[in-house]
Amino acid sequence: MTSREIRVGTPWNAPGLQRFNGDHPLPGSLIADYPGYSFDFALSPADTANIQRAQQEANALRRDLSGLTPVPIAADIDEFVVSRGLQTQAMMLAPCDLHFLHTAPLTHGRIPWILHIEEMITLFAPFVWHGISAQVDIRKLPAYRFVKRLLESPSCRGVFSHLRHSHDFLPVLFESEALAAKVHHIPLGVEFSSAATKTINERQGGRGGLPGTTFLFTNSWSQQESSFVLRGGSDVIRAFLQLVAKYPDVRLIVLSTLPVSHYGEEFRGFVRRIPNLMLIEQRASDDELVELLMTADVFLVPSVGLHALSVLRAMYCGLPTVVSDAPGNEEFVTHDRTGIVVPGRRGKTAWYDEIGFLHQTFEPVFSKEPGDFSVSLFQEMERLHLDPERRRRIGAAAREHVRRHHRIDEWRSGFRRLLNAVRPTLA
């Protein structure tokens, strides 16, 4: 007898989920051809009938949360349930056997679901988010108990992360032995198109043809203005100004929208006048990004948080990648072996506590006053510029590390094993 096909709903473009990373390429890389499974991005209409169904589910979640001991305040329960988004939940009613969610458990929990996360901080969205958690005592927030209830519920069939830290600390954070059996670690894999992969392979020996050093800084997938700052763009500009004044043969490519809403419109003109700086303010296609990665000698992402996909893709291209010591980067980059780690973020803008929760503040990086970090970044960029052999050594080791430990087939195989483990529990 042939097993029926399991329909996996991926409602990432519903309004509430779109707000928190939506159709992001990291979880999107898991959407592939798995025998016995299909993936469906279809959304149901937020019509009167579905709104009514979603309201019934919301009321059921309210009743469930009110059964906690001690009994939560009704207003706290209502705020949490409302945060799941009634319209979003109505649009998630398209027929499926399993929801594949990422970033946050934005669900009423009627349909069985699995969840992918990076840092555990996003579990508590929208009540806690990156950059506003520095002073948060997470276990004292009402959302902490409600999220724990969702994760421990039978509807949650599994949580997985590409961070070993999140895997190890999720049961610790929630003081839950039940969650230890639900959480999985699957190492992140990276891929490019076949044409791009061919280009990357063929051009490994051709880097460094120009005199000097070409540095590359890119914004995030979203290209939001604030991401320029959060990924270390302001520090990159400060460091490069020192570098190009001292070494006229260095170059910087910036692929990013600029934070003119923060720094003012004159910032764009200032950046455009910097010698040897190429500014690209529109989004680049994957092929265009690969061309930039293969043109560069060094990739810069000295951010306040982890950007695992950007880091691994640059490493796969054979680039020595400069990251900060922000929590999470240590799982992917070893200083002076597979990349360069610039100290100065950990403990100032981001740090883990004893239960694994990530505390962050973005205030220091949005300050218009130069800090010590840009000085440290300049020093590391200077060392790389002056030592081409070191660049080649680190870039080659980085590429080999990714090819061994972050293969796309292993990333997908791990996901398939999770699907297969969940499958018997689906009616």
DSSP β-ladder status, 358-360 and 350-352: antiparallel
pLDDT reported for residue 148: 98
Q: The domain spanning residue 143 has which CATH number?
A: 3.40.50
Tell which residue, 254, 235, 242, has the closest CA to residue 348. 235
pLDDT, position 222: 67
- CA gap 148, 227 in Å, rounded: 30
pLDDT of 172 higher than 50? yes
Q: What is the mean pLDDT of the chain?
A: 94
Whether residues 378 and 334 share a domain: the answer is yes
- Given a cut of 60, whether residue 330 has pLDDT beyond it is yes
Q: Say if residue 176 is in the same domain as residue 216.
A: no
Give yes or no: residues 174 and 247 share one domain.
no
What count of Cα atoms within 13 Å lies in the side-chain half-sphere of residue 375?
Answer: 5
One domain, residues 28 and 53: yes
Residue 412 in contact with residue 83, Cβ under 8 Å?
A: no
Q: What is the spatial distance between Cα 161 and Cα 209, in angstroms, rounded to a whole number?
A: 39
Within a domain: 82: yes
Choice among 64-73, 280-289, 334-343 with the minimum mean pLDDT: 280-289
Q: Determine the pLDDT at residue 370.
A: 60
Residue 259: the pLDDT is 87
Enumerate residues 6+ apart whose C-beta is below 8 A from 325.
341, 342, 343, 344, 345, 346
| Burial label, 284 (beta-carbon count in 10 A; 0-12, 13-18, 19+) | middle
Express each pLDDT in 80-131 by its tens digit.
999 999 999 999 999 999 999 999 999 999 999 999 999 999 999 999 999 9
Q: What is the CATH number of the domain that holds 318?
A: 3.40.50.2000
CB-based contact 35:2 (threshold 8 Å): no
Residue 1 lies in a domain: no
338 and 366 Cβ atoms separated by less than 8 Å = no
Task: Please compute the mean of the pLDDT values over residues 215-224 and round it to a whole number.
Answer: 85
Residues 37 and 181 in one domain: yes
pLDDT category, 286, cuts 50, 70, 90?
A: confident
Above 60 in pLDDT, residue 5? yes
Determine, yes or no, domain membership for 91: yes
Same domain? 146 vs 258: no
Residue 321's domain spans which residues? 194-405
In the structure, what pLDDT confidence band is assigned to residue 261 with cuts at 50, 70 and 90?
A: confident
pLDDT in the model for residue 366: 81
3-state secondary structure the chain: CCCCCEEEECCCCCHHHHHCCCCCHHHHCCCCCCCCEEEECCCCCCCHHHHHHHHHHHHHHHHHHCCCCCCCCHHHHHHHHHHCCHHHHHHCCCCCCEEEEECCCCCCCCCCEEEEECCHHHHHCCCCCCCECCCCCHHHCHHHHHHHHHHHCCCEEEEEECCHHHHHHHHHHCCCHHHHCCEEECCCCECCCHHHHHHHHHCCCCCCCCCCEEEEEECCCCCCHHHHHHCCHHHHHHHHHHHHHHCCCEEEEEECCCCHHHHCCHHHHHHHCCCCEEEECCCCCHHHHHHHHHHCCEEEECCCCCCHHHHHHHHHCCCCEEEECCCCHHHCCCECCCEEEECCCECCCEEECCCCCEEEECHHHHCCCCCHHHHHHHHHHHHHHHCHHHHHHHHHHHHHHHHHHCEHHHHHHHHHHHHHHHHHHCC
State whether 235 and 106 are in the same domain.
no
Angle at which helix 48-65 crosses helix 74-83, to 10 degrees, equals 140
Identify whether residues 93 and 67 lie together within a single domain. Answer: yes
**Tokens of residue 409, six digits:** 């087939």
| Mean pLDDT calculated for residue range 224-245 | 93
Q: Are 185 and 207 part of one and the same domain?
A: no
Whether 326 maps to a domain, the answer reads yes
Question: Is there a single domain that holds both residue 278 and residue 400?
Answer: yes
Each residue of 187-226: b (16+ CB within 10 Å) or e?
bbbbbbeeebeebbeebeeebeeeeebbbbbbbbbebebb
pLDDT tens sequence across 126-166: 999 999 999 999 999 999 999 999 999 999 999 999 999 99
Distance, in Å, from the CA atom of 76 to the CA atom of 79, rounded to the nearest integer, reads: 5
For residues 16 and 70, membership in a common domain is answered with: yes
Q: Which residues contact 122 (CB under 8 A, 6 or more apart)?
A: 20, 103, 104, 129, 130
Quick check: is 321 in a domain? yes
What span, in angstroms and rounded, lies between the C-alpha atoms of 251 and 247? 9
- pLDDT recorded at residue 1: 36
The tally of domains found in the chain comes to 2
Residues 222 and 167 in one domain: no
Give the whole-angstrom CA distance, residue 357 versus residue 355.
Answer: 6
Chain segment 366-402, per-residue pLDDT in tens: 876 667 899 999 999 999 999 999 999 999 999 999 9
The predicted pLDDT at position 368 comes to 64
Q: What is the structure's pLDDT at 208? A: 64
pLDDT at 273: 95
Residue 29 domain-assigned (yes or no): yes
Instruction: Give the integer Cα–Cα distance in Å for 102 and 160.
Output: 9
